[in-house]
């Protein structure tokens, strides 16, 4: 199945925008946040126009409609990742909060001084800082699977780390810098054999290819709506039922309780135990619409299209003198091309590209340790999605030649 790219692009109104008169937008920053299709925008607009009310707290028509839409979205998300039950889908603000939920609830209830948590050298700060905080607080040990020079995880070193009886293995499914798609099923299987719980950062994987939590046998999965054509401000933590049932609440307040007395309380059932206060209702509706939209397009077709665009982009970028690419070959990575340009700071690269309408990212991409691993402070990063085209890659390359010309 191939994508009808012209039809797909018509679903995204922002792609018709000119960033200034006569300069059309070339959006190559989907790894940071994806653009939104009409289906998502309309679902959220319709909610606010027709059904806006608080959920779980009223019997009037609007409250019941809002509750139904909110829970239907949860069902759509559960189906998207093949969760056995919608009760395993916990709404959070984003991937970061989902990882923190595990760190503050599961980890603080189960880890003690000296316990080992295995991470990797390619983690986003969201999967580093919560464990640094816990290490300082509890004295847990952190060890890291090394990244090889070609941007892959060193699984031989991982095997050695597993001999130290870790309690948790937490890692990214796909690097937001290198684009590396890690062998999650194998990493999880080996972790379980060593007696460890697993947490998968799916922020970059769930939007781009099929992620099946039951096939992976992962214990926790964290991801965000805004990277998968949904709204900002909402994410998900998936967890195995037994783990979620045993975990204490993360935040206290309304809706996460079954009973409250002056001197005690009883937490609510799953998933509400972890959803304190008025949630992001419209955003949940948009999240469900995003899952439905991506499913209608087809995740296999999206992955195949991105692979074709990425392969083309890497070939074109390799033509440019003085440009250095980071990460593995196209067959081992997702739609990301991170690079440096001899003698030109990534921010200058991004600024000149913006002058010709090309939007990329520049900086350390919330992955400073990974950049230190490669002895660089920052990279420029172009990233691709279902609406990206080869002509946009050509515009990127043309813009990079302007950068080269400008800086001599």
Alpha-helical (H) ranges within 139-183 are 155-162
Nearest to 276 by CA among 256, 246, 257: 256
Rounded Cα distance between 48 and 162, Å, is: 50
Total length of the chain: 408
Give catalytic residues, as residue numbers. Answer: 366
Burial class (CB in 10 A: 0-12, 13-18, 19+), 124: buried
74-101 CB burial, b ≥16 within 10 A, e <16: bebbbebbebeebbbbbbbbbbbbbbbb
**Tokens in use for 370?**
């990974």
User: Are the beta carbons of 367 and 122 closer than 8 angstroms?
Assistant: yes
Does residue 64 sit in helix, strand or coil? helix
Spell 363-397 as b/e; 16+ CB within 10 A means b: bbbbbebbbebbeeebbbbbbbbbbbbeebbebbb
Measured distance CA(155)–CA(145) in Å, rounded: 7
What would the two tokens of residue 241 be?
């039922």
Distance (Å, whole) CA 92 – CA 244: 14
Max CA separation in the chain (angstroms): 72
d(CA 105, CA 97) in angstroms, rounded, equals: 12
Strands 116-120 and 141-145: parallel
């Amino acid at each position: 199945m191939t994508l009808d790219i012209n039809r797909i692009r018509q679903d995204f109104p922002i792609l018709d925008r000119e960033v200034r008169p006569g300069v059309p937008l070339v959006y190559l920053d989907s790894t940071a946040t994806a653009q939104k299709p009409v289906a998502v925008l309309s679902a959220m607009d319709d909610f606010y126009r027709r059904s806006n009310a608080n959920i779980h707290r009223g019997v009037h028509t609007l409250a019941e409609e809002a509750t139904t839409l909110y829970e239907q979205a949860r069902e759509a998300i559960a189906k998207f990742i093949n969760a056995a039950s919608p009760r395993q889908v916990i709404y959070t603000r984003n991937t970061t909060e989902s990882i923190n939920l595990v760190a503050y609830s599961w980890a603080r209830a189960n880890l003690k001084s000296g316990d080992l948590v295995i991470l990797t050298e390619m983690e986003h700060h969201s999967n580093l800082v919560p464990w640094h905080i816990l290490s300082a607080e509890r004295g847990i040990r952190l060890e890291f699977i090394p990244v090889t020079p070609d941007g892959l995880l060193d699984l031989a070193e991982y095997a050695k780390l597993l001999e130290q009886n870790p309690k948790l293995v937490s890692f990214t499914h796909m690097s937001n810098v290198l684009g590396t798609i890690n062998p999650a099923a194998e990493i999880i299987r080996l972790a379980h054999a060593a007696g460890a719980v697993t947490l998968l950062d799916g922020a970059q994987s769930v939007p781009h290819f099929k992620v099946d939590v039951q096939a992976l046998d992962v214990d926790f999965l964290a991801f965000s709506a805004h990277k998968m054509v949904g709204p900002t401000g909402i994410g998900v933590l998936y967890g195995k039922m037994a783990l979620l049932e045993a975990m204490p609440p993360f935040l206290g307040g309304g809706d996460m309780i079954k009973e409250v007395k002056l001197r005690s309380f009883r937490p609510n059932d799953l998933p509400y135990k972890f959803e304190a206060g008025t949630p992001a209702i419209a955003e949940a509706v948009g999240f469900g619409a995003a899952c439905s939209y991506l499913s209608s397009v087809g995740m296999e077709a999206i992955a195949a299209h991105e692979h074709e665009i990425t392969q083309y982009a890497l070939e074109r970028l390799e033509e440019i003198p003085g440009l250095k690419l980071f990460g593995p070959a196209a067959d081992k990575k997702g739609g990301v091309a991170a690079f440096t340009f001899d003698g030109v700071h990534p921010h200058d690269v991004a600024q000149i590209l913006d002058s010709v309408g090309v939007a990329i990212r520049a900086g350390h991409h919330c992955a400073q340790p990974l950049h230190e691993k490669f002895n660089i402070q920052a990279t420029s990063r172009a990233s691709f999605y279902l609406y990206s085209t080869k002509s946009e890659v050509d515009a990127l390359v043309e813009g990079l030649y302007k950068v080269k010309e400008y800086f001599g």
